[in-house]
Every structure is written in structure tokens, then in C-alpha cells.
Amino acid sequence: MEITKKNKFVEFFKNYWMYVAVGVVVIVVAITVGLLAGRGSVPTTSPSLEFSLPMSEASIVKDFSSTELQENTTLNQWEAHLSVDFTSDNADVFAVLDGTVTDVSYDILNGYKVEITHDGGFVSTYSSLAEEPVVQEGDSVASGEKIGSISSTATFESDLGDHLHFTLYLNEEPVDPNNYLDLQNK
């Protein structure tokens, strides 16, 4: 007669498999409930932001369009226009929200540019400014505070003359400023 050795581990699972399965399910449910309970403390809505206009007494020279191409007469080409271009007899340019100036720079296409980072994932850029913006990188600005003046330093739109090339980003993607600024009367 041959003596067989039983594997204690296998025997345990044969006898108690139901308890092991229930224990695993209980652990998974407890972890899931714990994770979901922690998510409940995160606010689902952000505080309402009130945007001001980047210029007073302004008119729109060229509106935002992400789907319909617009003619850029300076470059003699058709393109999406992910900004709004403003002009006004009052050349002052203002911050649209409270924020921090994160860039003041110049390049041949955009001219002088000021970039402001705001709460809620918003960043606003103001291009085609006069040579000396009145803010510097690192400055805190309030909504409606003057940051510069319009000019024609943006050579890629020089046919528009003195104007503000205003771009608004949300989470690093350009968005239509018409959805945030009260532009109905412009």
C-alpha cells in the first residue's frame, strides 16, 4: 500500500474556498468604498469667475473661429483664428481677471506680448502691444488693471493696424473668449 502525502495548502482551499472568496470580495468592496468616500470631499464646481473686457470702447476687428477659416490678408492665407482682435480709439489694454504675469516677451510675429495666469486653469495672452508693457513678469494684476497699450507690433496681422490680439486658454487649450467675456455690444 502506498502512502500519499496531502498538501495542506490545497486541502485548506478545498475545505474553505468559500470563506476565502467572501474575504477577497469584502476587501475589494472596502477599498472601493474608501476611495469613493475620499473623492466626495473634492469640490465638483469651481467658484464663478467674473471676466472684464480687455479694452474699453473697443470693436472686434476679427473674431474667434476654430472651425471656419478666415483670411489673413497680411500673410495672404486662410487660417483658423483662435483669438479675438480688438481695436479702439482708447489704446489701453486691461487684465480680464486677477492673476500673475507669467511672461512679457517679444517676437517678430506676435510683437510685444503679456501672458497672465489666472485661477481655474485660465491663461490670457495679449499680443501686438506697444513696446513697453506696464507690467513685468511676476507682477500680480487685478481684473481691469492696465497692462499695456495696443500697437501694430504683430507683423503677422500688420494689415489690421493698431489692435489687440487677445487669446484665452483653459487647461492649455485655446477657448472662445466670447463664451467668457461680455462681447455682445462690441
Domain segments of the chain as ranges: 59-179
Q: What is the Cα 146 distance to its own chain's centre?
A: 22
CATH architecture of 59-179: Distorted Sandwich (2.70)
Q: Residue 84, exposed/middle/buried by CB under 10 A (0-12, 13-18, 19+)?
A: buried
95-138 pLDDT, tens digit each:
999 999 999 999 888 899 999 999 999 999 999 999 888 999 99
Cα(72)–Cα(75) distance, integer angstroms: 6
Indicate yes or no: pTM above 0.95: no
Pairing of strands 111-117, 99-107: antiparallel
Range in 18-22, 98-102, 112-116, 163-167 with the lowest mean pLDDT: 18-22
44-83 pLDDT, tens digit each:
344 577 889 999 989 998 888 888 877 777 777 787 789 9
Cα(75)–Cα(159) distance, integer angstroms: 9
Q: Which residue has the cell 477657448?
A: 175
